[in-house]
Chain A
């Protein structure tokens, strides 16, 4: 087996597209004016931002460009949605999120508890799905915000956002979705979904790092997170990151122009999952069909996730795990525990998020390498019966 170098951690970050990078450069070297200034060079920068805003609005199916606000990334957008909505509440104090949100949502929501807000975390089923019924049950007269992610970063499960959003609306609450993993990977249309707010992050879809956006539907009021010079129509201050904004819009346009690649990606994903499941005592995590086209995630019994990641790295494969050792605590990720896995099982988690450039040969190489690494780690494990290839207990 010839060694290959395969980047399979696109859910963490992606390589910038050549087109996006090329589109960015003139905004550093030529059109570097501050968009808030009034001379020609600045006006050019302003036009660059507004063109990018139109592009992003169109890619998301927003009613108008003014519903797009540029931020520093997914985390800022998430923080803004939650803190901004909370800041305007006078009597309502209840927020509903799912139990498998990214920390940008869960930590932010819980940070408000010290100000008297209350947070309900909805459970998910073994595939990672939030049920409409559980949201219906969790809604209270004082619920002002529901925030449920569109697609999960670890297990790839895609939520029924349209249906969940309808429940929130029926109870008079705002609905926000963290779509950081979804935008640029599956078609996302804010009007079809009916959401009030949506967060996205550029570097997850081949744009530059350090830039993102929030869709805020016209008429939805939230308080500012960052005050200052009044950029972004007074709602998000700070000199605009023009080159990054243009790069993000270019990448998003590129990623959303044509979805004909999806069946090929799904076939690669299913081939990868099927191959990994050939390893005894391995199970898929996340939903079998309602999942991101480039996410393959499994838990492998009898090994620890970090060991696989380091072993795969030695094979030239860059992947990720939700095990305790990769999270810096004794507990595996809340997502893996949220879908009902036991600690000992969740420690063996492996997430491969491949990309458009990944080939069938790459997939087969990943499968063969993973088998090799798992076999080695299991042979070293005091809790694995290598003779019969099963757990000892």
Chain B
């Protein structure tokens, strides 16, 4: 298994680690049994993600994909963030080994979970917009 230099860089120097105390969208996905948990904190103003932070328990790829995902949605509109796919995260990292693809799926899910929370806080049902998100549950590995 070989990680790209970008994965190693984002593992060694992850961007946007931490919490946002006054976040208005927080989501957590994954579970400890599988060995990956990601938590995303979003600060959204006028439909723009002005700040994003993450906390991740997991392997090198889990940390790198969380880090890259935050980079990709920082400063973009909620609408654009909803379009972020795991494939885009992987591409930005110059690829992932097949057994680690599920980490990028988890990163996408973590952002969607935080966006769902953002909608819920405004009294909007997120399901029609964001879709169903399994928060902190078993996720299947995709290869």
Binding site for B on A (CB under 8 A): 302-307, 310, 314, 323-326, 328-330, 332, 343-344, 347, 379-384
Contact = CB atoms under 8 A, between A and B. Distances in A.
A330 B11 CA distance: 20
A307 B59 contact: yes
Contacts of A304: 35-36, 57-59, 62
A199 B99 CA distance: 32
A69 B39 CA distance: 55
B32 to A, nearest CB: 4
A70 B99 CA distance: 36
A382 B53 CA distance: 11
Nearest to A328: B99
Instruction: Say whether chain B's binding surface is mostly helix, strand, loop, or mixed.
Output: mixed
B60 interface: yes
Nearest to A378: B57
Nearest to A345: B32
A323 B35 contact: yes
B28 A382 contact: yes
Given A303-B57, A343-B32, A383 B99 contact: no
B48 interface: no
B34 A380 contact: no
Contacts of A347: 32, 35
A325 B100 CA distance: 8
Contacts of B8: 310
Contacts of B100: 325
Contact of B35 (A310, A325, A328, A384): A325
A284 to B, nearest CB: 21
Interface string B30-73: 00111111110000000000000001111111110000000000
Contact of B37 (A323, A343, A379, A383): A383
B95 interface: no
Contact of B59 (A314, A325, A329): A325
B34 A324 contact: yes
Contacts of A310: 3, 8, 11-12, 60
A344 B32 CA distance: 5
Interface residues of B, number: 28
B2 interface: no
Given A344-B33, A382-B38, A382-B39, A306 B56 contact: no
A380 B36 CA distance: 12
Interface of B: 1, 3, 8, 11-12, 14, 17, 28, 32-39, 55-63, 99-100, 141
B34 A302 contact: no
A323 B39 CA distance: 21
Given A343-B32, A382-B28, A330 B141 contact: yes
11 contacts: A328-B99, A329-B99, A343-B32, A344-B32, A344-B35, A380-B63, A381-B55, A382-B38, A382-B56, A382-B57, A383-B32
A382 B55 contact: yes
A324 B35 contact: yes
Contacts of A303: 57
A384 B60 contact: no
A329 B141 CA distance: 8
A342 to B, nearest CB: 8
Interface centre among B3, B12, B59, B60 (most CB of A within 10 A): B59
Nearest to A324: B35
Nearest to A383: B57
A383 B37 CA distance: 8
A52 B59 CA distance: 44
Nearest to B143: A328
A175 B99 CA distance: 37
A328 B1 CA distance: 9
A310 B13 CA distance: 12
Contacts of A384: 57
What are the 3 closest A-B residue pairs judged by CB atoms, nearest first? A325-B59, A344-B32, A382-B39
Contacts of B56: 380-382
A379 B18 CA distance: 8
Interface centre among A304, A314, A347 (most CB of B within 10 A): A304
A303 B55 CA distance: 12
A324 B31 CA distance: 13
Contacts of A307: 11, 58-60, 63
Given A306-B60, A328-B1, A343 B55 contact: no
Given A304-B36, A347-B32, A314 B57 contact: no
B106 to A, nearest CB: 12
A314 B60 CA distance: 12
